[in-house]
Structure 1
Amino acid sequence: MTVLILTTGTHGDIAPFIGLGRRLRDSGYDVAIATYAAFAGQVRSSGCEFRRLTGDPSQLGVAEQGRLKKPGPGDTLRAGRWLKNIVQHVEELSGDLVTAAHQGADLLLCCGLTTFYGYHLAKALGIPSMGLALQPLHPTGDFPPPIGAPSLGRRGNRALGRLMFTTGLTPWRSSPRFCRELGVPALTTAQTLRQTARERWPVHYGFSPTVVRRPADWRPGIEVVGYWWPYEPPGWQPPRELVDFLDRGPEPVRVGLGSGGDPRDREEISALLATALRRAGVRGIVQSGWAGLEVTGDDVLTIGDVPHRWLFPRTAAVVHHVGAGTSGAGLRAGVPAVTLPTFGDAPFWARRLVALGVSPGFVPLNKADPDRLAGLIRAAVDRPGYRARSRRLAAALAAEDGAGRTVATVRRLLDPPGPHRPTTIDLGARAADPDRDVSGG
Structure 2
Amino acid sequence: MKIGLQTWGSHGDIRPFVALAQGLHAAGHEVTLVVTCVDSDRYAALQGTVPYALEVVASPVVPDRAALERWGAAIVAERNVSRQTRLVIEQLLLPAEAAMYRASERLCADNELVIGHYILHTLAIAAEKQGRPCVSVALAHGAVPSAFQPPLGVPNWGAFCNRLAWRLARWVLNRDFKWVADRLRAQQGLPPAGDVVDTVWASPALTLLAVSPTLCEPRPDWPANYQVTGPLDTPDSVAEGAVPESLEAFLSAGAPPVYLTLGSMMSGNDEARTVTLLVDAARAADVRAVVQAPSGAPAGFANSEQLHFVSAAPHAQVFPRCGAVLHHGGAGTSQAALRAGVPSVVLAHTAEQELWGRELQRLGVAAAPIARRRATVDRVAEALRQATRSDAMRQAAQALSARLAGEDGVATAVRLIEARFSPQAQQVVAAA
TM bucket normalised to smaller: 0.7 to 0.9
Instruction: Confirm or deny that 1:256 pairs with 2:254.
Output: no
Instruction: Please tell me the residue identity of whatever aligns with 1:322.
Output: G
Which of 106, 117, 120 is residue 112 of structure 2 equivalent to? 106
Moved more, 4-13 or 236-245: 236-245
Instruction: Confirm or deny that 1:36 pairs with 2:32.
Output: no
Moved more, 26-35 or 125-134: 125-134
Deviations 1:366-412 (A, max 9, x none): 11111111111111111111111111111111111211111112212
Gaps of 5+ in 2: 427-432
Which of 350, 354, 357 is residue 357 of structure 2 equivalent to? 350
Instruction: Confirm or deny that 1:130 pairs with 2:139.
Output: no
C-alpha separation between the residues in 2 aligned to 1:49 and 1:340?
36
C-alpha separation between the residues in 2 aligned to 1:76 and 1:180?
24
Partner of 1:187: 192
Partner of 1:211: 215
Partner of 1:364: 371
Offset at 1:182?
4.1
SS at structure 1 position matched to 2:4 = strand
Instruction: State, as a whole percentage, how many aligned pairs show the same letter.
Output: 26
Instruction: Please tell me the residue identity of whatever aligns with 1:30.
Output: E
Offset at 1:225?
1.3
Offset at 1:95?
3.3
C-alpha separation between the residues in 2 aligned to 1:397 and 1:78?
31
Which of 232, 235, 239 is residue 236 of structure 2 equivalent to? 232
SS at structure 2 position matched to 1:33 = strand
Offset at 1:33?
0.8
Offset at 1:58?
4.5
C-alpha separation between the residues in 1 aligned to 2:342 and 2:79?
37
Which of 250, 268, 276 is residue 273 of structure 2 equivalent to? 268
Offset at 1:81?
4.6
| Residue 312 to residue 140, structure 1, CA distance change in 2 (3 Å) | same
Instruction: Please tell me the residue identity of whatever aligns with 1:31.
Output: V
Which of 305, 329, 338 is residue 322 of structure 1 equivalent to? 329
Offset at 1:263?
6.4
C-alpha separation between the residues in 1 aligned to 2:312 and 2:96?
28
Partner of 1:379: 386
Offset at 1:135?
1.2
Moved more, 386-395 or 237-246: 237-246
C-alpha separation between the residues in 1 aligned to 2:273 and 2:313?
24
| Residue 329 to residue 125, structure 1, CA distance change in 2 (3 Å) | same
Partner of 1:151: 156
| Residue 196 to residue 346, structure 1, CA distance change in 2 (3 Å) | closer
Moved more, 312-321 or 398-407: 398-407
| Residue 163 to residue 366, structure 1, CA distance change in 2 (3 Å) | same
> Given that residues 151 and 166 in structure 2 are in contact (C-alpha distance below 8 angstroms), is that contact kept between their aligned partners in structure 1?
yes
SS at structure 2 position matched to 1:135 = coil
C-alpha separation between the residues in 1 aligned to 2:217 and 2:168?
22
Instruction: Please tell me the residue identity of whatever aligns with 2:263.
Output: G
| Residue 332 to residue 49, structure 1, CA distance change in 2 (3 Å) | same
TM-score by length of 2: 0.85
C-alpha separation between the residues in 2 aligned to 1:167 and 1:313?
41
Partner of 1:22: 22
Offset at 1:264?
5.7
Gaps of 5+ in 1: 420-441
Instruction: Please tell me the residue identity of whatever aligns with 1:390.
Output: A
| Residue 117 to residue 375, structure 1, CA distance change in 2 (3 Å) | same
Partner of 1:311: 318
| Residue 55 to residue 189, structure 1, CA distance change in 2 (3 Å) | farther
SS at structure 1 position matched to 2:195 = helix
| Residue 100 to residue 189, structure 1, CA distance change in 2 (3 Å) | same
SS at structure 2 position matched to 1:212 = coil
C-alpha separation between the residues in 1 aligned to 2:413 and 2:178?
20
C-alpha separation between the residues in 2 aligned to 1:109 and 1:27?
16
Moved more, 250-259 or 155-164: 155-164
TM-score by length of 1: 0.83
Instruction: Confirm or deny that 1:53 pairs with 2:57.
Output: yes
Partner of 2:184: 178
Deviations 1:10-34 (A, max 9, x none): 0111101101110110000111111
Instruction: Confirm or deny that 1:277 pairs with 2:282.
Output: yes
Instruction: Please tell me the residue identity of whatever aligns with 1:368.
Output: A
Instruction: Please tell me the residue identity of whatever aligns with 1:356.
Output: L
SS at structure 2 position matched to 1:340 = strand
Q: How does 1:322-341 map to 2 (within 5 A)?
A: 322-341=329-348
Instruction: Confirm or deny that 1:89 pairs with 2:95.
Output: yes
C-alpha separation between the residues in 2 aligned to 1:381 and 1:371?
15
Offset at 1:93?
4.1
Instruction: Please tell me the residue identity of whatever aligns with 2:31.
Output: V
Tell me how large the CA RMSD over aligned residues is: 3.4
SS at structure 1 position matched to 2:291 = strand
Which of 223, 242, 248 is residue 243 of structure 1 equivalent to? 248
Moved more, 324-333 or 165-174: 165-174
Moved more, 155-164 or 322-331: 155-164
Offset at 1:207?
0.7
| Residue 408 to residue 418, structure 1, CA distance change in 2 (3 Å) | closer
> Given that residues 118 and 138 in structure 2 are in contact (C-alpha distance below 8 angstroms), is that contact kept between their aligned partners in structure 1?
yes
C-alpha separation between the residues in 2 aligned to 1:410 and 1:290?
40
> Given that residues 3 and 31 in structure 1 are in contact (C-alpha distance below 8 angstroms), is that contact kept between their aligned partners in structure 2?
yes
SS at structure 2 position matched to 1:345 = helix
Deviations 1:88-117 (A, max 9, x none): 336434532344325611101021321x43
Offset at 1:141?
2.2
Partner of 2:418: 411
| Residue 250 to residue 291, structure 1, CA distance change in 2 (3 Å) | closer
| Residue 195 to residue 65, structure 1, CA distance change in 2 (3 Å) | closer
> Given that residues 251 and 314 in structure 1 are in contact (C-alpha distance below 8 angstroms), is that contact kept between their aligned partners in structure 2?
yes
C-alpha separation between the residues in 1 aligned to 2:248 and 2:30?
37
